[in-house]
Amino acid sequence: MKLNIRGKLFAVSLGLIGVSMLAGELYLRPAVEENLIDRIRGDLFARLSLVEQAAAGQRDRERVHWDALADEVGPRAHGRVTFIDGNGVVLGDSEVSLDGLGLVENHRDRPEVAAALAGRGGVSTRRSATVHERLMYAAIPLALPGGARGAARLAVPLDEVDAALRKLRHILWAALGLALVVAVVLSSAAAQMLSRALRRVIGAAQCMASGDLEVRTRPSGTDEIAQLGRALDVMVGNLASTLTALRSERDLLGVILESMQEGVLVLDQESRMLLVNPALRATFSLPAGAEGRAALELIRNAELQEILQRAGKATGAVTGEIEIAGPKPRRLLVHAAPLPPAGGTRARAILAVFVDVTEIRRLETLRKDFVANVSHELRTPITAVRSAVDTLRLTLERDRSASDRFVDIIDRNAQRLGALVEDLLDLSRIESKDYRPDVAPVSLRAVSEQVLSLLRLRIEEKSFDVGNEIPADLPPARADRKGLEQVFTNLLDNAMKYCGPGTRVRLRAQRTGGGSLRVEVADAGPGIEPRHLPRLFERFYRVDSGRSREMGGTGLGLSIVKHLVEAMNGTIGVESVPGRGATFWFTLPEI
């Protein structure tokens, strides 16, 4: 049961009164009793002096005389008077008849009698075996006739002591009742004064606890309650400022985490997710409510688990890369570091940041492949030129026809080097951010006819069956004219390189219905195996490396075509069945 202030004050008052009563019962009552007994003891010895004077006139030791004397002085002494000889035999007793004295037991062993017979006064308190009352006995030496020593004893009942103690107890209980009444009145008044101020402080504190940090107690006075109210006002003011700062930091941190492209993961001491930002949620397709669940349960990646385990044991950051499989495989760089221990435990939380390095690694691979391919492509013509030059020096004077042949070799490889450098420059220019195609309405039929006229001699030389089936009334395309000419040239040149003499090649174009035009360069050549199709537009990729070099190809033509078409907001692809030819197609937006 909960007590309010009034109940607590009453309980305290009652406790104090109870303690006082207990102290009075344990200390005051024995002290009063001892004081009364001391007074009665002194009074007994004074009255015994009168008894001794009355007994001085006795001339014999006959019981009848002593008993009569005891009966005479007993009422005057206000007590039971007993005369005892030196052997402890009772000579007379004011409370016992003469006939009953013979039945009274010997008193020599009584403490007070033994003391009196020894020559000094004695006192004792006990219950009498004769009259069956609680009595106080006092005895003094008494000179008997014939010079014998006896004792005169006076006994009084302790009714006065018991009455005084009862009176004291009554006084104490009356004081307890009065104190209880006073305690109730005072506690009620004190509680009323205290509770008014406390209720105001409690009401304000409850509002603060419910989240209202604008409320204030505004106490008056200088007592402890007022000091408590002022302390609460200061505390809630500081709390409001702190919460405002924390909210600002939380909002800023939330905006930062929301806008980060890198994934952020925080794990607690038991490897459960504490924080997951949207980028990481999208990367691993984590469900809603992932926080609080084990990382191993939702992200099943052995490489990541190994990195996180090393981070949990390390003193600094741990870095590693992981692969993510799926429709779009990616490679992530993971930086994991332990956070300082919290909560008095030795276990540490872990912060992990995930950076998508897929494109960086792809570009690094392309760079390495490009350097290797360029080196390989340059090595062949350079080697041929150096060999031809060395041989030319030896045959220049002796064999004129051989010299001419080696000069042709040098010239052919020099042209190959020039073509390679030109293609590299074109590709670099097209891939650079500075390249901006000059887009304008362009007639596909007109551009294709112009390209075919430039390639006419080569077409006739190898008897190619090239036909232009692009409709003249086809809507213009939005394209860069020079770029489109290069696309047609490279695609036709590619078809003539890999198709034998007399092969049928057709140029077609049509509207796709989606606001774009589809252009096709189809040949009836040997076709391309399916395994080569995905990589045909890579730089330096060749289906047949040896044959391509014999034909003077650089391996950059289709890559240049792809970048030109994409720069003009188009797409490009290839379709082929081995033995049935190949169709290279691209799309361009129409006007």
Domain layout of the chain by residue ranges = 40-163, 213-258, 260-340+348-355, 362-430, 436-589
CB 142, CB 152: distance < 8 Å: yes
CB 267, CB 273: distance < 8 Å: yes
Q: How confident is the model at residue 573 (pLDDT cuts 50, 70, 90)?
A: very high
**For position 396, what pLDDT does the model report?**
61
Tokens 């394209």 belong to residue: 479
Tokens 């020079």 belong to residue: 482
Q: How confident is the model at residue 570 (pLDDT cuts 50, 70, 90)?
A: very high
Domain 40-163, what architecture? 2-Layer Sandwich (3.30)
Amino acid in the structure at residue 241? S
pLDDT per residue as tens digits for the range 267-297 = 888 888 888 888 888 888 788 878 888 877 7
**For position 549, what pLDDT does the model report?**
46
CATH of 362-430, one of 1.10.287.130, 3.60.20.10, 1.10.1740.10, 3.30.465.10: 1.10.287.130
Dist. CA 583–CA 11, nearest whole Å:
103
Tokens 């002194």 belong to residue: 42
Annotation: CATH topology of 436-589? Heat Shock Protein 90 (3.30.565)
Cα-to-chain-centroid distance, residue 555: 59
Phi, psi of 392 (to 5 degrees): -60, -35
Whether residue 422 has pLDDT greater than 70:
no
CB 156, CB 80: distance < 8 Å: yes
Structure tokens at 126: 């006990």
Domain 260-340+348-355, what architecture? 2-Layer Sandwich (3.30)
pTM attached to this predicted model: 0.40
Strand 572-576, strand 263-267: pairing: unpaired
Rg (alpha carbons) of the chain, rounded to whole number: 64
Strand 504-511, strand 465-468: pairing: parallel
CB neighbour list of residue 302: distance below 8 Å, 6 or more residues apart: none
Dist. CA 253–CA 336, nearest whole Å:
19
Instruction: Tell me how far apart the terminal alpha carbons of the chain are, to the nearest angstrom.
Output: 89
Whether residue 26 has pLDDT greater than 80:
no
Reduce the DSSP state of residue 114 to 3 states and report it. Answer: helix
**For position 548, what pLDDT does the model report?**
47
Q: How many residues in the chain?
A: 591
pLDDT per residue as tens digits for the range 66-93 = 888 888 898 888 888 999 998 889 889 9
Tokens 């494109």 belong to residue: 359
pLDDT per residue as tens digits for the range 138-170 = 999 988 887 788 999 998 887 766 776 778 778
Structure tokens at 42: 């002194």
Most confident residue range from 186-195, 247-256, 405-414: 247-256
CB 63, CB 91: distance < 8 Å: yes
Amino acid in the structure at residue 413? N
Whether residue 54 has pLDDT greater than 70:
yes
Bridge partners of residue 523, in order along the sequence: 505, 582
Comparing 40-163 with 260-340+348-355, is the CATH topology the same?
Answer: yes
Angle at 323 between CA 294 and CA 536, to 5 degrees: 150
Whether residue 13 has pLDDT greater than 90:
no
**For position 248, what pLDDT does the model report?**
85
Q: Any alpha helices (H) in 432-515, and if so which ranges?
A: 444-454, 456-461, 481-498
The helix (H) or strand (E) run that includes residue 283 is helix 278-284
Dist. CA 74–CA 79, nearest whole Å:
6
Dist. CA 86–CA 108, nearest whole Å:
8
Dist. CA 207–CA 201, nearest whole Å:
10
Please state, rounded to an integer, the average pLDDT across all residues of the chain.
Answer: 80
Q: Which of 47, 12, 29 is nearest to 183 (CA)?
A: 12
The CA distances from residue 305 to 265, 288, 298, 309, in Å, are: 13, 21, 11, 6
